[in-house]
């Protein structure tokens, strides 16, 4: 693409670095900003820069936070003894959006994946064990994606907790339910999901609310 | 969506204001920026703010420019006597990307559209007439979108130029060719396009290069 302004060209190139945004989309976004008030664009730019420079990670659960402790950990109405283990911040946002979970979180920062060079030491696993030792955790809920890496991570953490007398019991370890999604069609479900959802069938009174 | 950080939430809301970007995409972009170096995000933010505050519009053709005159008007290698009239900056970029046009431009800033409240006075038409009077323009090429509004705009400007003795002649007025696009299929072309492309047929020697 040929631009007659280097200011425009630089802005398009910066937007085109974002994931899923090509040159044409970047140009559309930049031309949109060009039509907005200078003050609005200034505000956009400041909010983005502040987000990156001022955001912190919760010292307890590694979720994003405005201070040292995130608003979920700081909320005394939530059950601190129930920890939901997730891969990343996006999963926290997804679960929070259901408005059905009242415990706290622990963000691993990924899952164990030797092929990608991610071992247990790169993840927030040690801090999770310390947390369970120190806080009186009664339930650990794994909400990881159902992949081999996710299952390996669950297995690894479970073994680690069992081997440690301070965390071995009476901790209840669960995973979120796998099965046919609401709105999903049986005939299009993969065999694994369908087989598991048959094995883990529920009494109807627990299904109908 | 529930966020545990207002910094994150504000950044997502700002991105979600951009055209074609919803909340989920905005979150993806913000989480991507969160993983980048603080310096890189600072740079992104500065480039965007500078683009809006420092960009100028060429005093001659109303294209975007870094100074008072855009790089196309300032280029003495280009034929200043041939003016291509376009609707907006994006059209300039599209034509420039073909690397086939060696004249200059005039950006109208839209087309005449009474239903949207856009009359000739809201567009850069007066300045185009002055330009043709002053500069020794020999050809005016309309590259507007083939809509009723585009055709109205061409008709209006043409009548205005004919009525003015200083611009009436020997100015040649043309429009870019309409027809079946390269790679287009005849059977899917609309009747209007097909009919016009038959009327305006070309001798084969002009087609084969």
| B82-139: pLDDT as tens digits | 999 999 999 999 899 888 899 999 999 999 999 999 999 999 999 999 999 888 899 9
According to DSSP, the residues that pair with A172 across neighbouring strands are A139
**Residue A89 with chain B: CB contacts under 8 Å:** 31
| Residue B154 predicted with pLDDT over 70 | yes
Distance from CA of A151 to the nearest CA of B (A): 25
Burial state string for A68-90 with b = 16 or more CB within 10 A and e = fewer than 16: ebbbbbeeeebebebbbbbbbbe
Q: What is the pTM for the complete model shown?
A: 0.79
Q: Which residues of A touch B36 (CB under 8 A)?
A: 52
Does pLDDT of A58 surpass 90?
A: yes
Domain A67-176, CATH:
3.40.1360.10
- Which CATH code fits B6-54? 1.10.8.420
For residue B43, give every residue at least 6 positions away whose Cβ sits within 8 Å of its Cβ, in sequence order, or none: A14
* B100–A contact, CB cutoff 8 A: no
Domain ranges of chain B: 6-54, 71-176
Quick count: other Cβ atoms within 10 Å of Cβ B161? 20
A42 CB burial (10 A radius; 0-12, 13-18, 19+): middle
Q: Please, what is the angle between helix B23-35 and helix A38-54, to 10°?
A: 50
Facing residue for A70 by CB, picked from B4, B21, B93: B4
Contact yes or no for B10 and A51 at CB 8 A: yes
Question: Residue B171: exposed, middle, or buried by beta-carbon count in 10 A (0-12, 13-18, 19+)?
Answer: middle
State pLDDT tens for residues B48-83.
999 999 999 999 999 999 889 999 999 999 999 999
**What's the mean per-residue pLDDT of chain B?**
89
How many residue pairs from chains A and B have C-beta atoms closer than 8 A? 174
Tens digits of residue pLDDT in A97-132: 888 899 999 999 999 999 999 999 999 999 999 999
pLDDT tens-digit map of A136-186: 899 999 999 888 999 999 999 999 998 888 877 688 899 888 887 877 787
For every residue of B22-48, which 3-state class applies, written as one string? Answer: CHHHHHHHHHHHHHCCHHHHHHHHHHH
* CA B68 – CA B60 distance, rounded (Å): 9
Q: Examine domains A6-54 and A67-176 and report if their fold is the same.
A: no
Task: Answer whether B3 touches A (CB < 8 Å).
Answer: yes
Question: Could you check whether the bond before residue B170 is cis, i.e. omega within 30 degrees of 0?
Answer: yes
A105: nearest CA partner in chain B: B4
Separation of alpha carbons A140 and A62, rounded Å: 16
Joined tokens for residue B137: 């323009």
Range from A21-25, B36-40, B176-180 carrying the lowest mean pLDDT:
B176-180
* Phi and psi at residue B165, to the nearest 5°: -60, -30
Least Cα distance to B109 among B125, B130, B133, B129 occurs for B125
The CATH number fitting domain B71-176, selected from 3.40.50.300, 3.30.70.360, 3.60.15.10, 3.40.1360.10 = 3.40.1360.10
Partner A contacted by B1 (CB < 8 A): yes
pLDDT at site A135: 87
pLDDT at A46: 95
User: For the packed helices B126-134 and B148-163, what is the interaxial angle rounded to 10 degrees?
Assistant: 40
């Amino acid at each position: 693409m040929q631009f007659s302004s280097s200011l425009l060209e630089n802005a398009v190139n910066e937007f085109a670095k974002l994931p899923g945004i090509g040159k044409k989309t970047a140009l559309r976004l930049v031309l949109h900003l060009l039509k907005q008030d200078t003050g609005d664009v200034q505000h956009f730019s400041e909010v983005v820069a502040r987000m990156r420079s001022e955001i912190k990670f919760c010292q307890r659960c590694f979720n994003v936070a405005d201070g040292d402790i995130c608003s979920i950990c700081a909320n005394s109405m939530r059950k601190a003894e129930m920890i939901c283990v997730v891969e990343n911040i996006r999963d926290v946002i997804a679960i929070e959006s259901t408005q059905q979970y009242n415990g706290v979180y622990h963000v691993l920062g990924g899952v164990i994946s030797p092929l990608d060079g991610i071992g247990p030491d790169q993840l927030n696993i040690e801090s999770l064990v310390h947390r369970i030792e120190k806080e009186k955790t009664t339930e650990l809920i794994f909400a990881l994606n159902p992949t081999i890496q996710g299952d390996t991570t669950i297995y690894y953490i479970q073994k680690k907790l069992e081997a440690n007398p301070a965390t071995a019991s009476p901790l209840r370890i669960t995973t979120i339910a796998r099965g046919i999604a609401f709105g999903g069609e049986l005939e299009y479900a993969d065999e694994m999901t369908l087989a598991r959802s048959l094995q883990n069938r529920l009494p109807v009174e627990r299904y109908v609310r």
